[in-house]
Structure 1
Amino acid sequence: MGADLKGKVAVITGASGGLGAHFARLLAQNGAAVAITARRVDKIQTLADEINASGGRAVAYGLDVADAHAIAPALDRAQSDLGGLDILVNNAGVGGEGLALDISVEDFDNTFGVNVRGTFFAAREAARRMIAAGVEGRILNIASIASHTVLPGLSAYCGSKASVAMLTRSLAREWARRGLAVNALCPGYIETAINDAWWPTEGGQKQLKGFPRRRLMDASDLDAAFLMLVGPAAAAITGSIITVDDGQSLPGGG
């Protein structure tokens, strides 16, 4: 499934690797000009160069969404350099690992600062620009099955992703008559650089065997839902929390 995104301008946060880099490539492959943002400028510049070399259009900006005051200038730059703003993909996120009795105040605050605060202020700044320009904008927040499923040892992360889900519904309601579609995508477990050392371990294998299909997902399994939510097909979809997890969050284990 593809989407016609020609003439659209997309901004994606947290795109230095993993799902963010995958989504940036997917946007470009479907015709969007892409502003790729993350803290690691070297990584996103390499990705932008790759997209441009393949015939796409991409720019790279350093951005830490935990710094709310840095978000507006980055979006202004994207509008200026690429000629507009039609799509925001709020992908930046951190793990927030740690048992509730052990996690530090600093780590808890960082989890909510990036996953919730960063998502809220990026969405707000994008919405302001989309509304002012009169475009039918798309805001897609990348949540997680953690928004509705307890993941042991990740209480802060689960709380932050549940917040992202409710923010999505609240913002969708608030901006419903402003021409914006605000939705969330909740992926299941996909092997990335963040977790690839875990799956070969005894604990990782036990967790994997608890999934109904006893396997991890591929990033490409998200493509159809992602393109639907950032493209024309989302004209009548807003406030939706869509889970794509290969059944991993189904009760009962494997």
Structure 2
Amino acid sequence: MSDLHQRHKNTIALITGGAQGVGHAIAKQLIAEGCSKIMLAGRDCVKGQKAVERLGQSGVEIDFISIDLQNVQDCLDLVTTTIQRFGDLNVLVNAAAFGGRGTLIDTDIALWDMMFDTNARAPFFIMQGFVKHRQSQGGGGAIVNILSQCVHCGQSYLAAYSASKGALATLTKNVANAYRFDRIRCNAILPGWMDTPGEDITQRRYHGATDGWLEKAEASQPMGQLCKTYQLAELASYVLSPTAGVMTGALIDYDQNIVGVSPE
């Protein structure tokens, strides 16, 4: 039985999308459970440095790298730079994603490429670098990919987004299977509708939402809330920890609405 507050004492983590939302919440949870070395990666340097300042107050070694996830070399360099900074790397969280809107009919090539380059190709090459490093160290390590309930279908206006997340779901299982004898575990969490800063921007930009939209949305949900990042972070921390044992290749639905249910 492990000490909850120390089960990540040997964790050296890399988290994309770590400046806010799910990625930031996972970083905070890992620190609460003993992690003392974390690299955050994202687009916005200002948000990244603010995140470093907030999380660094607990005395951990933490840094931020600005990265363009549509640039493959940036993705490969991300792993190398993290190892150079901390000397090792054994936990990876792919939380960064692009959630633009587009139906089958109105999605153009530029949107499709941006979606897949960010949501599928970037995690592919970041995991490639991570797995190569872990193999060079004799194996071991854990990956969590943050997906979406859209993997199961998604709304009509999320056609390309759903497809990109579906690709990452398959890749999660493929990686888990391919490197299980290296003791490298790879799992994914599929959250439903989430309360994040990014979702607030999305609701206002694409759906005409105004102040108070969150309260109205939560009142309509079975459990009276949207998914919360700090709650999901505890699950991610468990899956990434030695406590999860042999768990690999799992796609974990994280929502209050059940896939496949028909009206009574």
TM-score by length of 1: 0.90
Matches within 5 A, 1:15-34: 15-32=18-35, 33-34=37-38
Q: 1:223 to 1:2 in 2, by over 3 A?
A: farther
Aligned mates of 1:195, 1:90 — CA distance in 2: 18
Which residue is 1:45 aligned to?
49
The alignment covers a number of residue pairs equal to 254
Which residue is 2:160 aligned to?
156
Instruction: Report the residue type matching 1:25 in the other structure.
Output: K
Shifted more, 177-186 versus 132-141: the winner is 132-141
Which residue is 2:223 aligned to?
213
Which residue is 1:11 aligned to?
14
Instruction: Report the residue type matching 2:106 in the other structure.
Output: D
Cα shift at 1:223: 2.7
Unaligned runs of 5+ in 2: none
Instruction: Report the residue type matching 2:73 in the other structure.
Output: H
Determine if contact 1:3/1:228 at 8 Å carries over to the other structure: no
Cα shift at 1:173: 0.7
2:45 is equivalent to residue 54 of structure 1 = no
Aligned mates of 1:132, 1:76 — CA distance in 2: 13
Shifted more, 207-216 versus 100-109: the winner is 207-216
Determine if contact 2:78/2:126 at 8 Å carries over to the other structure: no
Instruction: Report the residue type matching 1:89 in the other structure.
Output: V
SS at structure 1 position matched to 2:197: coil
**For residues 66-110 of structure 1, what are the alpha-carbon distances to aligned partners after superposition, in whole Å with 9 as ceiling and x for unaligned?**
211112222122112112100010111011312221122111110
**For residues 153-208 of structure 1, what are the alpha-carbon distances to aligned partners after superposition, in whole Å with 9 as ceiling and x for unaligned?**
10111111111111000111111111100111111111222222638569989976
TM-score by length of 2: 0.87
Which residue is 1:185 aligned to?
189
Determine if contact 1:217/1:245 at 8 Å carries over to the other structure: yes
Unaligned runs of 5+ in 1: none
Aligned mates of 1:151, 1:93 — CA distance in 2: 17
SS at structure 2 position matched to 1:185: strand
Instruction: Report the residue type matching 1:27 in the other structure.
Output: L
Instruction: Report the residue type matching 2:91 in the other structure.
Output: I
Shifted more, 238-247 versus 208-217: the winner is 208-217
Aligned mates of 1:20, 1:245 — CA distance in 2: 18
Instruction: Report the residue type matching 2:64 in the other structure.
Output: A
Instruction: Report the residue type matching 1:24 in the other structure.
Output: A
